[in-house]
Structure 1
Amino acid sequence: MADSTLAHRAQNPTVTEAVHLPPSSPPTNHGRTLAAWTTTWVVVVGSVVAALGLVLSLMWLFWAGLGLAVAGVVLGKVLQVLGHGQGGAATLARQRARGGH
């Protein structure tokens, strides 16, 4: 049980911390953008193909899957630069058309 006497409170003052809020509200799409979904699924498919290549001992399939995964990362970055990522013009337009989310 905590000591709440006057002497204890005088010796252990309550410290108040300042809260620093961001200058504007963050995006409300929680990362659900075309660039994010495309990157995720292409990398997942590439990883599955690479894993099948390892299981089946087909090194060409492994390297093809690995190349597909790397291509997914590059494709995601290209889509982000084109405005389909977090805060991009295309994402904001789609967000306004759907009523904010």
Structure 2
Amino acid sequence: MADQSVERRAERAVPAQTSIRDLSYLPPSAPPTNHGRTTAAWTTVSVVLGGAVLSSVAMIFAAAPLVWVGGVVIVLGMVAGKVLQILGYGQGGAATLAKQARTGGH
């Protein structure tokens, strides 16, 4: 009973009368994008990662003020990323689209 095949589970997941074209309950597919390779994304990830590393190392050495400094750096990284996104350096922004046009795609 516990040894059911993948096909049987797939049959139960999608009713038999449903065709592949009639799967309207699925979300629409996303258009091709740059997968987050933007200035805003890289800045956010880099600064937040730096703050997390600082905070983690400070936690190991029991340096409470540095733990808080790391937390502040993390918050500043998120704010900087949002500001860059608003300025057009995020996905779909004017600066990102112009850069993609110059470099020929992604």
User: Which TM bucket (shorter chain)?
Assistant: 0.7 to 0.9
Over 3 Å off, 4+ runs: 18-22
Instruction: Name structure 2 gaps, 5 residues minimum.
Output: 1-14
> In structure 1, how many angstroms separate the alpha carbons of the residues matched to 2:72 and 2:78?
10
What residue ranges of structure 1 are gaps of 5+ in the alignment?
Answer: 1-11
Pairing 1:64–2:69 present: yes
> Please, what is the CA RMSD of the aligned residues?
2.2
Residue 100 (structure 2) aligned to one of 83, 87, 95: 95
Question: In the alignment, is residue 37 of structure 1 matched against residue 42 of structure 2?
Answer: yes
The match for 1:52 is: 57
TM-score by length of 1: 0.77
Aligned sequence identity (%):
49
How many residues in Structure 1 have an aligned counterpart in Structure 2? 89
Distance of 2:42 and 2:98 partners within structure 1: 17
Residue 18 of structure 1, CA deviation: 5.1
| TM superposition shift of 1:45 | 0.4
